[in-house]
Amino acid sequence: MTAGRFKYVTYIASTPQAVFRALLDGQLTRQYWKHTNESDWKPGSKWKHVADDGQGTVRVVGTVVEMIPNRRLVLTWAESDDAEDPKQHSQVTIDVEPVGGMVRVTVTHEELVPGSDMANKVANGWPRVLSSLKSLLETGHALDTWAS
Amino acid sequence: MTAIGDVDAVFKALADPTRRELLDRLYSNNGQTLTELCKGLPVARQSVSQHLDVLAQANLISVEWRGREKHHYVNPVPIHEIYERWIRKHEVQRLQALHEFKKRLEGGRK
């Protein structure tokens, strides 16, 4: 029942507005994620996760399921080759909430195929992305997110 | 009071074999309930529950209620932060030391 489901949590000394902007604003995502997230962010719209590699390589695609500014973003998530196959889409929920002067960011990634390439990439990726996001917002410097 | 996920709380939480065992169990099978986690552990249920509280306070696990069942998920983000703070830094220093060593050896050959 819980296979293929991950939850990642970080606490950031920031505001929900700043955290949410950092998820969507390409100027910021380039620094801590080395990708941009592109969409009009309306429920039902497509979104894509594009590498900042000078070639615009699309790494992840999906649909915007829910969007509550400064609080919650729900997306489906798939390899670009699997864009048209809903069975291959996992789902990501990013919750942003103020907690005791900090902001709790919770990423719940579910409906992944256990042991799949995507599940491994996701399990390896989110802790790096969240640590780097925290570092950027708290110190002004992102980490070397994808260093081995 | 320490903030949730404070680095002291993380090191303290990791400095216990039962808590490390609980993290290992969640790593191999994420989202277990208290009852599932107690199976095969030579520790009282109440004690396991207290260990889980310490791990949650350190932000090393997160919990999720589904109906009346509480599921526990390992959260590796604070461990990644320790890696960034305490390990990557030293790797870089070691690489620089090797680089100096190589320069000196190669320079000596001239």
Per residue in A8-33, pLDDT tens? 999 999 999 999 999 999 889 999 99
How far apart CA B3 and CA A77 sit, in angstroms, is 32
CA count, 13 A, side-chain hemisphere, A130: 28
Q: Which residues of A touch chain B, with CB atoms under 8 Å apart?
A: 1-3, 5-11, 99-100, 102, 106, 108, 126-128, 130-131, 134-135, 143-144, 147
> Using the 8-state DSSP alphabet, how is residue A111 labeled?
S
How far apart CA A29 and CA B7 sit, in angstroms, is 26
How far apart CA B80 and CA A31 sit, in angstroms, is 18
Least confident segment among A65-69, A87-91, A93-97: A87-91
CB contacts < 8 Å between A and B, how many? 54
- Percent of chain A with pLDDT strictly greater than 90: 73
User: How far A128 CA lies from chain B's nearest CA (Å)?
Assistant: 7
Residue B109, pLDDT > 60, answer no
User: How far B21 CA lies from chain A's nearest CA (Å)?
Assistant: 19
Q: Provide the H-helix boundaries in B1-110.
A: 7-14, 17-28, 34-38, 45-57, 77-82, 89-109
CATH 3.30.530.20 fits A6-139, yes or no: yes
Which residues of B are less than 8 Å from A126 in CB distance? 77
A7 to B62: CB separation less than 8 angstroms, yes or no: yes
Domain ranges of chain A: 6-139
pTM for this one? 0.84
Q: Which helix (H) or strand (E) holds B73?
A: strand B69-74
